[in-house]
Amino acid sequence: MQPEHGTGLELPLPDTDSARHSSRVAEYIRSCIDTAGGSISFAEFMQHALYAPGLGYYTAGTKKFGASGDFVTAPEISPLFGNVLARQCAAVLEQLPGGNVLEPGAGSGALAVSLLNKLDQLNALPDQYMILEVSADLQQRQEQRLREEVPHLADRVTWLSELPRDFAGVIVANEVADALPFERVVKRQKGLQQFRVGVENDNFVWQFADAPELLQQAFSRIETHLDEPLADEYATEISPAVSNWIGDLSASLKAGLIFLFDYGVTRREYYAPDRHQGWLRCHFRHRVHNDPLILPGIQDLTAWVDFSAVAEAAQAAGLEVAGYVTQAHFLLHGGLDEELTEFTSLPQAEQLELSRQVKLLTLPGEMGESFKCIGLARGDIDLPGAFRISDRTHML
Ligand SMILES: C[S@@+](CC[C@H](N)C(=O)[O-])C[C@H]1O[C@@H](n2cnc3c(N)ncnc32)[C@H](O)[C@@H]1O
């Protein structure tokens, strides 16, 4: 997820329709808080703000992706991302005759379009491309986009309402883990406190309460992996939802490989002393800021991913970590050069555009370093090329 303008700029005012929509979302969340007795956890707040049926950021019909939305993702920036991923998927699918592709959280459908196109070119099309999307609005947009852009392949695509059983093949998920509601906690002398959201004068405000046992245990486990305990007033995120989701994906996967892409780091980096404000980020009209309590329903809420927690959840569920690489290494070792063999014969304008896309996807200051891909395998799968070089699994 990349903003086009970056951090530190003043937030633009929402237009009238968006402001009106946000007021409705705020009213809905206030009623949930009221019903809950005065406060809800941050994870519950995030669940409502992003996914309340027909109202949330992902479930109402607003434009989120691309220049006129709030952010762009790798498959939105360039089909090169999906093309390279397709090469890696093909390498797995060829080992699993009859294997299919499953994409949870398909957003605008951009990745599905490029994956299907490239798998077709590679003669590696699966019988079924399954999408599991929690947003009915996004599912509709995905269906329309696929019908328009890959009409000859659209009949292979099916939308699921839950994860399939005994799935064999490849699961791909780009920027889904960061969109799952997470908890925020702060370490205080009196014990671990949970960030909760209450209401004062119709505005959302932070409140604090003793963290539930589950979060206390998770926090203690994290501290045992660090060189020294975290300091008092250290505030951070913990995502039980990501671990549960990995467990669900694992339960669904009979054989094959999961490719998960997201911005994230290892546990040591995640819980480094200088990260005492955590990793939460809010996206609104290509600006990044850190106040999740404003603009409910019209801004995206995310946090970077703790990939050590992903690896641990995967191993606990019986999956093997097949590789952990930066997005840049994934693309560079996964066949990006083969995607660019005709580069020099292209018109200059196309060369410039492709260069721009490659830079955004691979440069360390753009998405190249901060985004990672973790591969999680079940069964005897030969590693696809993208994980064979520059693997950082040992750092998790
Ligand atoms: C940040 S967007 C990423 C979209 C797309 N993968 C991309 O790269 O452009 C997150 C997506 O995950 C979906 N989502 C959130 N929670 C989900 C879940 N539990 N299962 C499946 N999809 C989910 C959202 O509706 C949205 O489509």
Residue 319 pLDDT level (bands cut at 50, 70, 90): very high
The answer to whether position 64 is within a domain reads yes
CA of 43 to the centre of ligand 1 (A): 16
Which residue has better confidence, 38 or 12? 38
DSSP state at residue 163:
P
Q: Is residue 256 part of a domain?
A: yes
Residue 376 lies in a domain: yes
Is the confidence at residue 129, as pLDDT, over 80? yes
In the reported structure, the alpha carbon of residue 104 is separated from the centroid of ligand 1 by a whole-number distance in angstroms of: 7
Please identify, by atom number, the ligand 1 atom nearest to the C-alpha of residue 76: 9
Domain total for the chain?
1
**Model pLDDT for residues 332-367, shown as the tens digit of each residue:** 999 999 999 999 999 999 999 999 999 999 999 999
Q: What pLDDT was estimated at residue 53?
A: 93
Q: How far apart, in whole angstroms, are the C-alpha atoms of residue 3 and residue 1?
A: 7
Give me ligand 1 centre to Cα 173, in Å. 8
| Spacing, Cα 105 to ligand 1 middle (Å) | 3
Give the integer Cα–Cα distance in Å for 4 and 327: 19
**Does residue 395 have a pLDDT over 70?**
yes
For 280, phi then psi, to 5°, come to -65, 140
For 162-177, the pLDDT digits (tens) are 999 999 999 999 999 9
**In testing the pocket of ligand 1, which one of 137, 146, 176, 244 has its CB within 8 Å of the most ligand atoms?**
176
Å from CA of 314 to ligand 1 middle: 20
Asked whether the predicted pLDDT for residue 93 surpasses 80, the reply is yes
In a domain? residue 217: no
Residue nearest to atom 5 of ligand 1 (CA): 107
Examine the pLDDT at 7 and tell me if it is beyond 80.
no
Residue 2: per-residue pLDDT: 60
* CATH number, position 30: 3.40.50.12710
Confidence (pLDDT) at 3: 60
Nearest atom within ligand 1 for CA of residue 302: 1
What's the CA-to-centroid distance between 270 and ligand 1, angstroms?
A: 22
Give mean pLDDT, residues 114-121: 98
Model pTM above 0.75: yes
User: How high is the mean pLDDT of the chain?
Assistant: 95
Report pLDDT for 69: 73
Question: pLDDT class for 9, splitting at 50, 70, 90?
Answer: low
- Residue-wise pLDDT tens digits, 13-69: 998 999 999 999 999 999 999 999 999 999 999 999 999 999 999 998 777 776 667
Q: How far apart are the first and last CA of the chain?
A: 22
In a domain, 141, yes or no: yes
| Burial profile 187-202: b = 16 or more Cβ within 10 angstroms, e = fewer | beeeebbbbbbbbeee
In this structure, is residue 264 part of a structural domain? Answer: yes
How far is ligand 1, taken at its centre, from the CA of residue 103, in Å?
9
Q: Residue 11: what pLDDT?
A: 86
Task: Note the pLDDT of residue 348.
Answer: 96
Instruction: Tell me what the mean pLDDT of segment 306-317 comes to.
Output: 98
Predicted confidence band at 70 (pLDDT cuts at 50, 70, 90)? confident
Of 134, 288, 305, the one to substitute when testing ligand 1's pocket (max ligand atoms within 8 A of C-beta) is 134
Domain assignment of residue 209, yes or no: no
Does 314 reside within a domain?
yes
Question: Going by DSSP bridges, is the β-strand pair 287-289/6-7 parallel, antiparallel, or unpaired?
Answer: parallel
What's the confidence (pLDDT) of residue 259?
Answer: 98
- Could you give phi then psi for residue 153, rounded to 5 degrees? -115, -10
Query: What is the domain range of residue 380?
Result: 6-183+237-395
Ligand 1 surroundings by CB, under 6 angstroms: 1, 58, 65, 73, 75-76, 104-107, 110-111, 132-135, 138, 174-176, 179-180
CA of 25 to the centre of ligand 1 (A): 20
The DSSP code for 343 is G
> 348-362 and 327-334 helices cross at what angle (nearest 10)?
130
356-383: average pLDDT = 96
Task: Please identify, by atom number, the ligand 1 atom nearest to the C-alpha of residue 71.
Answer: 1
Determine the pLDDT at residue 12: 87
Model pLDDT, residue 72: 87
Amino acid making up residue 353: E
DSSP 2: B
Of the pLDDT bands very low, low, confident and very high (cuts 50, 70, 90), residue 289 is very high
Whose CA is closest to atom 23 on ligand 1? Answer: 105
